[in-house]
Amino acid sequence: MDRRQVMNFRVHAQQLDRARGTLADTTVLDIGVQDTGPDGGKWALALRGVDVAAVSDQDLVLLWTLRGAPHLYRRSDVGRVAAAVEPFSDADAGKRIFDAARPLKAAGIGNLAALDEVARQMRAIVTKPTVKGDVSARLATVLPKPYLRFCRPCNATHPYEQPFRLAAVRAGLELRPGTSPPVLQRIAGFRKAAAPGDRFDPIRAYLRLLGPATPKQVAGFLDAPVKDVTARWPDDVVEVVVEGEKRSLLAADEEAASSAAGTKVTRLLGPFDLFLQARDRTTLVPDAKRAKELWPVLGRPGAVLADGDLVGTWRPRQSGRTFAIAVQPWGRLAASVRKAIAEQAERLAAYRGVALTGIDYAS
């Protein structure tokens, strides 16, 4: 497969070329829609044809899951999602919680056991909606030293951040949307499923939405060890070669991938849209300078998707009730693409509930 085939396949698989859809048939909700920033989860759903104005908090649930980031899922799927985002092993749990694993190991505490203990204590603390800082402060009084760290900026002792976030789902806790600082609350009727099933299995979901891929790329997306991902690699895959690299694709998607046609749609992707989360960044953006512009260490821009390719970046410029976007093209944009960007900017402004005052193109 060449690069354009891969890009076209992902546009179709992620339904970025769809005019209308429902939560029930929106595929990206199977793996989770990252909800970071004002143009986060619901904007990603709007780009895939969902009428987000008609979506209520009872339809979606916001959870800290993959990489400890907040993600939206269908509320009806929460039990299977909880099973899907579980670490594969104790070693996997250790990798996902980063530096928190070291003091636990020194104290002879297993990583999964530690997550269970943090979850047990969080469940006991959060009997009503509670601000994250209050939960953290309470945890610091009931957890032993290996679970805690001293924070110099706060001049206080806190639980490690990643175990805190990853234990929340284990505790049956969700994030209340639109709260800053975050408010945690119990998920009504929560019960983790025994297994996620193929649809929510994160490895299969990655291959279905961001394939073709290697175990290393999937592991990078999950923050999991490559060994654990390889051990759970699906049997029903076919091998394809992308830019000289052997990758896997679900056999059921082979025909769709090989016949994926280009699309004329233009979309203003949010900075953390799933399309930009693929771990084969050189496939998404072959030019190293442009890749650095799209994925800086801090302050990511959004990306302009046009005709099945990434053609530039964009940033919001909002002041009160007025709103503009600054576009950095990566080449000459056709008049039809500029017109489509203007239409999408109007759509984004309406989503934000403000008036679009202009589009500024960098020279």
pLDDT confidence of residue 154: 82
pLDDT confidence of residue 91: 98
Q: What is the mean pLDDT of residues 265-277?
A: 98
How much of the chain, in percent, has pLDDT values that exceed 90?
A: 94
SS3 content of the chain, % helix, strand, coil (to 5): 45, 20, 35
* Cis, bond preceding 70 (omega within 30 deg of 0): no
Is residue 139 predicted with pLDDT exceeding 90? yes
Among 272, 331, 266, CA closest to 301: 272
Is residue 363 predicted with pLDDT exceeding 80? no
Predicted confidence (pLDDT) per residue in 89-131, tens digit = 999 999 999 999 999 999 999 999 999 999 999 999 999 999 9
Per-residue burial over 327-357, b = 16 or more CB atoms within 10 Å of its CB, e = otherwise: bbbbeebeeebbebbeebbebbbebbebebe
pLDDT confidence of residue 320: 83
Among 323, 212, 308, CA closest to 266: 308
Tokens of 289: 């300078």
Q: What is the mean pLDDT of residues 306-315?
A: 97
Is residue 319 predicted with pLDDT exceeding 90? no
Euclidean distance between the first and the last CA atom of the chain, given in angstroms as a whole number: 34
**Angle in degrees, CA 299, 43, 61, rounded to 5:** 100
Predicted confidence (pLDDT) per residue in 291-304, tens digit = 999 999 999 999 99
Q: What is the mean pLDDT of residues 192-201?
A: 96
pLDDT bin (cut points 50, 70, 90) of residue 199 is very high
Domain boundaries, the chain: 3-186, 211-258, 285-361
Q: What is the dihedral of CA 360, 20, 251, 5, to 10 degrees?
A: -30
Q: What is the mean pLDDT of residues 30-50?
A: 97
Q: What is the mean pLDDT of residues 16-44?
A: 97
DSSP reduced 3-state for 126: coil
pLDDT confidence of residue 102: 97
Torsions phi, psi for 298 (to 5 deg): -130, 145
d(CA 343, CA 332) in angstroms, rounded, equals 18
Q: What is the mean pLDDT of residues 244-265?
A: 92
Could you tell me the pTM of the whole model?
A: 0.96
Q: What is the mean pLDDT of residues 225-235?
A: 98
Is residue 321 predicted with pLDDT exceeding 90? no
Cβ-count burial of 153 within 10 angstroms (0-12 exposed, 13-18 middle, 19+ buried)?
A: exposed
Residue 268's alpha-carbon distances to 4, 67, 305, 320, in angstroms, are: 19, 24, 6, 21
Q: What is the mean pLDDT of residues 72-80?
A: 98
The angle, 0 to 180 degrees and rounded to 10, between the axes of the packed helices 132-142 and 111-125 is 120
DSSP reduced 3-state for 183: strand
